[in-house]
Amino acid sequence: MPFGQATPKSSRGDHFVGTDVDRFSLPFLRIAQTRLSVSYTVFLAFAVLVGVVMNVTRQPGNADLPRVAMFASLGWCSGWLAQLLAYGAISWASGYRPVCITIGVLGVETVPRRWQARVALLTGLAALMSCVFLGCFYRLVDGGFQVPVIETTTDPIWQLPSIGLGEVKSAWRTASWLCFVQAVGQLCPLPRTLGRQLLAACVAILGRRLGVVGQVKTLRLLIDSFAFCTLGLGIWLMNTGQDIAGAGWFLLMGVAVLLWLSSRWSDTLQILEGLESGCSDPERPNRDSIRVRVVNRVRRWRGIRRVRHAHRVEQGEAVDAQRVDEILNQLHREGIESLNEEDRQLLEKVSANLRKQRLAE
């Protein structure tokens, strides 16, 4: 098969995975009209982590490994939460409400969805940058911002001092590295990653004149190029016998093979068809730009807040008026000495409001 030239087959009648249900996930929570699901790979990774911790803890010097693993897991889950909030916020602000959002091992998983390419690009960038900003925040909490050093070494990943996986006191440093690992992993254009969505969105935006077939070929060519670059880096690491921040040559070669094979999958065509149909769907009445949608939603939100504030003020004034009547009756019966500090403050507040109203008139 020629390099990057796999012949795409139409999937117009196929089922879009992200439209109704994600077959590779378990429903976890429903928020309004959006269902939050957890990928089966998360449960598999959790089982592997528990097994490794139980076996390694028995060895001398690893008594604190469960605590380290717990803090590292919390840091990893915080990256998921940051991605989910950024992804959902941009989708909501842009006028799109996904039926299902899936959380995988690396965070938010993407599926073919009918929406605009610009929205897909913005949501992907927002989710990635949320991980980066969260990692920088953890670096600041750890004692000041320090640029992570990605060094080549032959030591295991848990022995690298810059990552700090071997000590409980370096939990913030570990959480920072894990957030950066999520961002780097999501950038790789593997299936269901943000990198694949971003790459497809860029192809859809810059290659509008190519048509769907030309866009699919271009996307597959880019994925193949990324695969061969990763393969070259893996070969270099194999020859030198070193790792990059714990990533060995066997991992990079596995990723390269998976990238090359997945470039022929049908999801490349489904993603681009979803982006195209999202831009030209005649049933979608609102064709405003993303900026106009965001401004309208912000104005609507501010209007709702003003109405709620006015309602609370009216309720407070009604309660104050009732309390003022009680205070005045008490003043008439028992005198001013019977009023406590709270009653005096309320009378002063009502008097000040009356003075403001008279001056305004």
User: pLDDT class for 144, splitting at 50, 70, 90?
Assistant: low
Residue 206 domain-assigned? yes
Domain edge (last residue) among 281, 309, 333:
281
Lowest mean pLDDT among 105-119, 166-180, 278-292: 278-292
- Contact of 256 with 234, CB cutoff 8 Å: yes
Specify the pLDDT at position 226. Answer: 92
Residue 229 located in a structural domain: yes
Highest mean pLDDT among 198-207, 239-248, 310-319: 198-207
Burial class (CB in 10 A: 0-12, 13-18, 19+), 18: buried
Q: Which of 146-155, 158-167, 229-238 has the highest mean pLDDT?
A: 229-238
> What's the rounded Cα separation, in Å, for the pair 63 and 67?
9
Residue 152 has pLDDT above 60, yes or no: no
pLDDT bin (cut points 50, 70, 90) of residue 283 is very low
Residue-level pLDDT at 82:
93
Residues 289-300 have pLDDT tens digits of 556 666 776 777
Q: Is there a single domain that holds both residue 119 and residue 197?
A: yes
CA atoms of 120 and 126, how far apart (whole Å): 10
Q: Which DSSP letter does residue 6 get?
A: P
Answer yes or no: is 276 within a domain.
Answer: yes
Residue 201 in any domain: the answer is: yes
Q: How does pLDDT run across 78-102, given as a tens digit for each residue?
A: 999 999 999 988 888 877 878 888 8
All residues at 6 or more sequence positions from 298 whose CB lies less than 8 Å from its CB, including other chains: none
Cβ contact 274:113 at 8 Å: yes
Kindly state the average pLDDT of the residues 43-66. 78
Whole-number pLDDT of residue 199: 92
Q: Are 77 and 277 in contact (CB under 8 A)?
A: no
**Integer Cα distance of 104 and 40 in angstroms:** 8
Same domain, 37 and 84: yes
| 114 & 189 share domain | yes
Question: Are 28 and 80 in a shared domain?
Answer: yes
Check whether residue 29 and residue 175 sit in a common domain: yes
Tell me the backbone φ, ψ of residue 205, rounded to 5 degrees: -75, -45
Say whether both 256 and 320 belong to one domain.
no
Report the number of distinct structural domains present in the chain.
2
Look over the chain and give the mean of its residue pLDDT values, rounded to a whole number. Answer: 76
- List alpha helices for the chain, DSSP H: 17-20, 40-57, 65-93, 117-141, 171-187, 194-206, 211-240, 249-262, 267-279, 290-334, 341-360
CA–CA distances in Å: residue 178 to residues 80, 128, 278, 323, 344? 11, 13, 34, 56, 57
What is the domain extent for residue 332?
294-360
Is residue 6 one of the residues assigned to a domain?
no
Show which of 281, 314, 349 is a domain's final residue: 281
Cβ(32)–Cβ(97) below 8 Å:
yes
Summarize the confidence of residues 4-28 as an average pLDDT.
54
